[in-house]
Structure 1
Amino acid sequence: MARGKPDLAALETRIGRDFADKALLRWALTHVSAAAQRPDSYERLEFLGDRVLGLAVAHMLFEAFPDDSEGELSRRLAALVRKETCAEVAELWGVGPYIRLGEGEAQTGGRKKRAILGDICEAIIGAAFLDGGAAAAEAIVRAAFGPKMHEAGRSLRDAKTALQEWAQARRLAPPRYRLASRSGPDHAPSFELAVEIEGFEPAVGAGSSKRAAEQAAAAAFMAREGVTE
């Protein structure tokens, strides 16, 4: 362990798993900017963790809401597995000091970027799956995401979905998203996307990924036009 780096044991306690293979957890905490080559970053674990998270949350919701329809369960699932919720979980785990970043990404506040935090949450879940199987990963998901199922005021739809349903209800064409600009280095990009709906002025949102920028643009449109969910 490098001097000044916090002990992984404290993080494992907050996550709720003592990893048999510590290398898996370190892998899940390695951003592409700090990786010797791209496969050494958390991206592959994030891919796996995203799928494991979806299945675990679906199982949890199926048990917790026996009277919900498929549509209602789908909306709850989308709200719980989206990047914003994953970032909240990563913040609760306190992963920031443990993230392995390149110097440039560290200097631009990478430890607090919600896109990175959301990715790492999924990567840790993927690492837990490889370390202990489906039951181990689901135990982590239930502990971290279970309380969020019943949080007052938690939206069951993301901004893009809410805006699309609003447009559909008014028989408008679906919102279109257009890349307005891209800046920053490859390891720390910044995107601006505009959302366009016929008959309205475009609204622009920014984020460290196209997905985040689209959500921000949709939220900006809704705020400007007074759209409520």
Structure 2
Amino acid sequence: MNILLVDDEPLELEQLEYLILKKFPNWKIYTAQDASIALQIVKQHDIFLCFLDIQMPGKTGLDLAKELTQSYTIDIIMVTAFQNFEYAQTSLRLGVVDYITKPIIEDELITVLSRYERLGNYSEHIVNALKIIHQEFSEKLTLNYLASKIHINPAYLSRKFQEEVGMGFSEYLNEFRLKEAQKMLIEFPDLSISTISERCGFNSQHYFSQIFRKVTGQSPRDYRLRESFY
């Protein structure tokens, strides 16, 4: 899997690269110290995941994230030394999949990367399907749409998804949406349950609450209160 790290600080790039390769030695890491170099790399290589530092001279990480999400299907994780709620909100609106702060703690980084651990074992079709799900989970995704985006037959995609991922497309999509909702409930305490439900791609708050309780054993509100307390 190809990973791009973008930061204007060489030492930060070196540390992040070291921590990632320590856990995932087979991943291919590309590095860039500004947006223009990053864009050149993205044009030349099939980048799956990108770590972007927010504070960079010239084009900021948020500017670059906006440009990348408009033109490419890339999972983006923002990195910053500032725990700024406004930055987090902007990242969320851009479709960024996660947000971590410096100094980077190894355990937190590995937790963020855990969702990508099995990708090395997937076929190209499934990797591309997962990229789209991770990028567009807030939209009304269907198996037919996904199949058309990666130019294969829906029935074939459904079978390959079950074989390789170990669950059906709809089950994976709901599971991914729920994990995003769990994070959002804690990281954005001012957002209403209804707003989080909508941003995570659920058709209604009632259905969201129903499936959330089925999986976690708690309502979204109780989950938020419990996790915030601890």
**TM norm structure 2:** 0.31
| Higher alpha-carbon Rg | 1
TM-score (norm 1): 0.31
